Amino acid sequence: MRRGRFAVLALLLSLPACASVVPGFQEAAQPAAAPDAGRVVLFTGLNWSGESHRATGTDALAQQIRRAGVPADVFRPGEWDRAATQLLALRPPPAAIAVYGYSAGGPAATRFLERVAGAGLRAETLLVLESWRDATVPCGVGLALQYRLEDGGLLRAARPGCAEVHNELIHPDVASRGGGLGHLSVAADAMVMRMLLGELVRDGGVRRR
């Protein structure tokens, strides 16, 4: 019994690493963008600290999106339903949305999309980094793309052919740089974040597919 408790404690203590701190992090204000710029919704990995949205890789990506002129909101994996409620309450609704999920945030992002798709909103892009398990992509997503360091949890369309889905490995030259990236460091890597940013936004708005 005691051994089991120690195992659970060890797991909990490992969770902050899913929120690797980004050096030199600076928070950006939410831009006052026109509705046609769209909006990006991002889901972090697990974080034992309670996710204060201060300097995690996912939050650093959100700040880059804001600096590009596109509103971006960050949520923990368990907040996918609240995130959907918040998005659906926006008036006017955003003209386009993109969704990002890292690690445990990958399955959370697909659950979020199931709800907003049921309300009639279509996502231009679902972008996932290192999903910790398989996740189902609802129909109607313009492009669902996952980047991984090695084979693992897959994105799959809810029905064959109803969504364009790609599971791709990060290029070895990027993955091995600086001694090699791992699951707990990839989301905070500057080169990877630039790659993710280009998939989510373009020309001051959510990237259209």
The region that residue 179 occupies, defined by phi over 0 for left and psi between -120 and 50 for alpha, beta otherwise, is left
Residue pLDDT, tens place only, 46-68? 865 444 445 689 999 999 999 99
**Which residue carries 């026109």 as its tokens?**
34
**Do you find a cis peptide bond into 92, omega within 30 degrees of 0?**
yes
Query: Would you say 188 and 22 are in contact if contact means Cβ atoms under 8 Å apart?
Result: yes
Higher pLDDT, 26 or 106: 106
* Domains of the chain and any CATH numbers: 2-206 (3.40.50)
pTM for this model (two decimals): 0.86
Residue pLDDT, tens place only, 94-151? 999 999 999 999 999 999 999 999 999 999 999 999 998 999 999 989 999 999 999 9
